[in-house]
Chain A
Amino acid sequence: MINWQFTLHPDHTINLDTNDRTLARLLEEKEPTSRICMACGSCGGTCTAAQFEPVSFRHILLMVRRGETESVRSELTKCMYCGKCTLVCPRGVNTRHILALLRTMLIN
């Protein structure tokens, strides 16, 4: 088979009307900079943990904003809080605070 460098995902509908966005709203209240992320991916690019496993702050925040919080739990426990994502963020998103808040809210 030819390797096209991409795969096809099964159907997946994101329904922002029915998805529970409570967590995203709570997060925006506690850390307003979670709104200004433009999902550029610089955070994921520099991430220390991402060298070993697929982890990305961009992905975590995107999922939370969509209300699909289940998939981010495992990613949150991979963060080393090293702060590289905060330093490279061109928008000044307070990434470590968001990760710490999400972790407290979703796990412990």
Chain B
Amino acid sequence: MGFDLFVIPFTAGLAFLLVWFLYKTVEWLSHLNRVDRTMLRRGVISSKTVRSVKEVILESLLHRKIFRTNPLLGYMHMSLAFGWFLLIVAGNVEAMIFKPATIHPPYYPIFFRFFEPEAAGFPGAKAFEFIMDFLLVFILSGVALALFKRIRSRALGMKKTTRLLWYDRLALYSLWCIFPFRLLAESITSGIYQTGGIVTGSLGNILAGLIPLQSFEYPAWWAYSLALGLFFVALPFSRYMHIPTEVVLIFLRNYGIHTRNSYSSYSEIEVYSCSRCGICIDPCPMSEAAGIQNIQSVYMIRNIRYKTPDEEVNDNCLMCGRCNIACPVGIVTTDLRAIARNERHLSGNLHLTIPATSSPHHDVIYFAGCMGQLTPAVTQSMETILQQAGEDYLFLDKEESICCGRPLALAGRIAEAKQLMEINRDKILSSGARTLVTSCPICYKVFREDYHLPINVMHHTQYLHRLLMQGRIRLRSQNISLAYHDPCELGRGSGIYEEPRQILRLAGNLLPTASEKEKSICCGGSLGNTVLNQKKRHAITEYSLESLTINNPDTIVTSCPLCKKTFAQRSDRPVLDIAEVVKSAIFRDKDNIRIRENYQIPAEEFSS
């Protein structure tokens, strides 16, 4: 077992990193709240741990999600993460086989070639020479791609990349240096001793003819160790902290822990897990359509991490959730942003006197919502359908409508939102209804998630779907081509994708769009953003319309009154709500029209 002074930067850096990460992990876990800690305890001895290990391999090492974004980008990340991991494992195995009976210091396998330049004759020596060289080239190909990405990110599927801070750059440059330095150091040593695999051996021979190898060997190993040490010391303060933190995140997430209404230990783990890869920038409609490139989740999370809050960054977001879907680490960015917004206005009071009223008894409550109030075509259609279906319903906010509270909550004014929620809750429950149907996905989300209502909360797409399933209304197919827009709050926000599509397939000819389902682009009208001006909103609306009209449909259909109203201002073709489509396609017994045979949705379609 050897020792040399040059191993000190590496060893010290590694020790520092390990101590720091251990300290952070203990801090995070000890600050978990009681509910989360119970989840952690219950989860550890369960299949969730196995699932987490699998996810760590698939995501942290193989970077499967990035492969889905772009194969080349995925390869770049995989070669660096998985390649380096294998290099460490193979190096340790090699050292163990070479000297089986000793416990090696951590630097020994890393600088194996320096300490054992003429290592040969142990089982698999030739194979190890080849494997180590192969892995090094594998990683170097990733480094080369990373360098190329700095010049032409588009080639790796990224239009915009993150603007890095200086300590991120320091860590990045030291990371880039590690593997070329290793190649150089190993080649020089191989050149001197006439050993080495295909790559290091041949490069060593070439170098032997160019430079005096003896005098370069020591500096090369020093450079390699310094690059490693520098990277390890910079890691906890830079974006590369995501490498160890992501593992913790994956385990905790699988145990069911998630970000709630306030900044918790788990939120901090999410923040540290952000690798600032910038994959969230391109999907952001604000970036692509409105040309705003400083507010994306990557910057918002960075502000949280370095405690440099920026209200404009927090507020100027549509909260559409496209970045959540894109994030390869699976960070729920909109939740983090909501918390950042909340932290400003913890005390607030809505000075509005709303008379408390109790509602008469009905089976179903229909709640149009503020946006529903602005689209009478939607509410009238819904009323017609409700009557057609013979439902005993109450139009709760026909007069004296009250906001559901979500816009206030989205603006970070939770206390005031709660006041509205209390009033609405009393109104809803006093009617004794068993079902609440709302036309507005914004209301739907808050009713479902924050009101804790003991009754069935449905968006009208779900309700219409149920009416069709029960055969209480029937549709006749019309000769019209439709394109469906998934509203953010209904699709990504609440996971409702299939019901509207099944309804529309009955009513007309449903055409695909360029960005379906979870990739749907915000209409631009979002209430989640209080900053964005009309001009930029219009740009986003047109960007979204472009994707919707790719197959030239006759009509655009959505299921959100706000989306409808926003699109209608800029669209060159009619924009209808799904309720309007259903109303116009509804088959009444007195209609003397031949109906399509499968006017009812076949039962098997509902199993999904």
Contacts and interface: CB of A to CB of B under 8 A. Distances in A.
A51 B400 contact: yes
A83 B354 contact: no
A92 B531 contact: no
Contact of A48 (B402, B416, B530): B402
A88 B565 CA distance: 10
A88 B32 CA distance: 46
A97 B531 contact: yes
A6 interface: no
A80 B407 contact: yes
B353 A53 contact: yes
A84 B348 contact: no
Most chain B CB within 10 A, of A77, A81, A100, is at A81
A84 to B, nearest CB: 5
Contacts of A51: 400-401
A100 B529 CA distance: 11
A31 B312 CA distance: 12
B355 A52 contact: yes
B378 to A, nearest CB: 14
A82 interface: yes
Contact of A83 (B352, B400, B407, B420): B407
B345 A108 contact: yes
Given A87-B565, A108-B348, A81 B411 contact: yes
Nearest to A52: B354
A1 B401 CA distance: 36
B546 to A, nearest CB: 21
B91 to A, nearest CB: 56
Interface residues of B, number: 37
Given A53-B353, A77-B349, A97-B530, A82 B403 contact: yes
Given A46-B374, A83-B527, A88-B374, A77 B400 contact: no
B218 to A, nearest CB: 61
Contacts of B307: none
B287 to A, nearest CB: 20
Nearest to A81: B407
Contacts of A49: 352
B401 A48 contact: yes
B527 A80 contact: no
A94 B371 CA distance: 17
Contact of B353 (A52, A83, A88): A52
B607 interface: no
Contacts of B345: 108
B403 A48 contact: yes
Interface in A27-68: 31, 33, 46, 48-49, 51-53, 55
Interface in B339-394: 345, 347-355, 370-371, 373-374
A11 to B, nearest CB: 29
Nearest to B410: A81
B261 interface: no
Given A51-B400, A74-B351, A84-B373, A33 B534 contact: yes
A82 B534 contact: no
A77 B408 contact: no
A52 B405 CA distance: 16
Contacts of B407: 80-83
Contacts of B413: 81
A92 B565 contact: no
Interface string A76-107: 01101111100110001010110010000000
A81 B420 contact: no
A33 B420 CA distance: 29
A78 B351 contact: yes
B352 A53 contact: yes
B416 to A, nearest CB: 8
A100 B565 CA distance: 23
A84 B347 CA distance: 25
Contacts of B530: 81, 96-97, 100
Contacts of A80: 350, 352, 370, 402-403, 405, 407-408, 416, 420
A82 B352 CA distance: 14
B421 to A, nearest CB: 11
B351 A81 contact: no
Contacts of B420: 80
A84 B404 CA distance: 13
Nearest to A78: B352
Contacts of A46: 373-374
A71 to B, nearest CB: 14
8 contacts: A52-B355, A80-B403, A80-B408, A82-B403, A82-B527, A83-B371, A87-B371, A92-B533
The list of the 4 closest CB pairs from A to B, nearest first, reads A92-B534, A80-B403, A82-B370, A81-B407
Interface of B: 315, 345, 347-355, 370-371, 373-374, 400-403, 405, 407-408, 410-411, 413, 416, 420, 525, 527, 530-535, 562, 565
